[in-house]
Amino acid sequence: MASSKTAVPAAARPKKKAKYTKRDYEAFLYLIPWLLGLFILQLYPFISSFIYSFCDYSVGGAMKFIGLDNYQQLFVKDRYFWTSLRVTLLFGLYVVPGKVILALIIAMFLNRDIKGINLIRTLYYIPSLFGGSVAIATLWRLLFMDNGVINAMLSFFGINNVHFLGDTKTALPTICALEIWQFGSSMVLFLASLKNVPKSLYEAAEIDGAGFWARFWHITLPQISPILFFTVLNQTIQELQNYTSPAVITNGGPLHSTYVLGMMLYDQGFAYFKMGYASAISWVEFIVIFLLTLILFGTSKFWVHYADE
């Protein structure tokens, strides 16, 4: 008896679709450089530094596990750690609000349609092109040293020589002034967000008799609050890791009044080659930044407003 099932020719059978196409493999190929950078330049150092922080490890020497000894040394015995932590937090406390407020003020001033406004905006942004530059930090030191240009200008008005970089009370604010001066990137973000605020809101507020400050508090700030939050968060993370300006301008002095954690980390790791101890410092700095980030995210619900809310 013939079978009721008819055999389907092999050529007529649907071909099984390949799991990955040639374009998929090309995409994977393009991802390789990024993946290598992620694993070799980010994840590997991140994990390694965590392991090193529990070890007695010097460059070229053997690595010995010592548990929490590095952290105990840091918190209990190192007389410079708490000073450095305080200086780092003060540095961030001075720079972040100063830079954000100044950037917002300048952005509001530049948010106008006047002749030559694009050139003016470019001039205000130029200082930020040299952010973190050793050359700019060196120039700042030359300007504010005892026989520098600033003191020469002050002496013209009868003001005695001011020790901007040699006094513990003025050294840190002088360095902070350099960081605040480089506000261009934040200014551009604020300027873009101000452009997106509907003009109809201001027109309605003016009809209701709202003044400048009322419009600023109830319209401008709520409308740009997401960008404001991002700027504060980004600047906080950036400034708490600052190394270049204090290192070049004052080298941590006078009397460690500008000795930030970034300098302490560098000295321990690359001057004394104590990589284990330097890793412990880096993780303490990471935890401080992480906690401040959590605080910013936790409080954002009270002052950050999004369009869909």
Mean pLDDT over 193-216 rounds to: 90
Ranges 111-115, 206-210, 270-274: which has the least confidence: 111-115
* Residue % of the chain over a pLDDT of 70: 93
pLDDT over threshold 90, residue 60: no
What pLDDT is stored for residue 62 in this prediction?
84
pLDDT over threshold 90, residue 21: no
Q: How many whole angstroms separate alpha carbon 166 and alpha carbon 227? A: 38
Q: What average pLDDT is seen over the chain? A: 88
pLDDT over threshold 90, residue 123: no
Mean pLDDT over 196-220 rounds to: 91
| Most confidently predicted of 14-18, 89-93, 138-142, 185-189 | 89-93
Conformation bin of residue 179: beta by default, left when phi > 0, alpha when psi is -120 to 50: alpha
Task: Dump pLDDT digits (tens) for 179-196.
Answer: 999 888 899 999 999 999
Tokens matching residue 213:
């400050």
Ranges 118-127, 209-218, 220-229, 277-286: which has the least confidence: 118-127
Ranges 3-12, 44-53, 255-264, 278-287: which has the least confidence: 3-12
CB atoms near residue 238 (< 10 Å): 18
DSSP-derived letter for residue 17 is P
Mean pLDDT over 106-110 rounds to: 91
Question: Nearest-CA neighbor of 50 among 278, 273, 262, 272?
Answer: 278
pLDDT over threshold 80, residue 239: yes
What pLDDT is stored for residue 1 in this prediction?
47
> Is beta strand 64-65 parallel, antiparallel or unpaired with respect to 55-56?
antiparallel
Superfamily of domain 69-303: MetI-like (1.10.3720.10)
* Residue % of the chain over a pLDDT of 90: 64
Do 81 and 164 meet the contact criterion of CB atoms below 8 Å apart? no
Task: Give start and end residues of each alpha helix (H) in the chain.
Answer: 22-36, 44-52, 69-72, 81-110, 117-125, 134-144, 149-156, 171-181, 184-195, 199-207, 212-215, 221-239, 244-249, 261-266, 275-303
Domain extent listing, the chain: 69-303
Task: Dump pLDDT digits (tens) for 78-106.
Answer: 989 999 999 999 999 999 999 999 999 99
What pLDDT is stored for residue 65 in this prediction?
93
Mean pLDDT over 25-33 rounds to: 88
Q: Is the dihedral of CA 275, 251, 179, 166 positive or negative?
A: positive
What pLDDT is stored for residue 263 in this prediction?
95
- Alpha-carbon distances of 70 from 48, 58, 82, 83, 237, rounded to whole Å: 15, 13, 15, 17, 24
Coil, strand or helix at 65: strand
Give how far the C-alpha of residue 10 lies from the chain's centroid of Cα atoms, to the nearest Å.
63
Coil, strand or helix at 213: helix
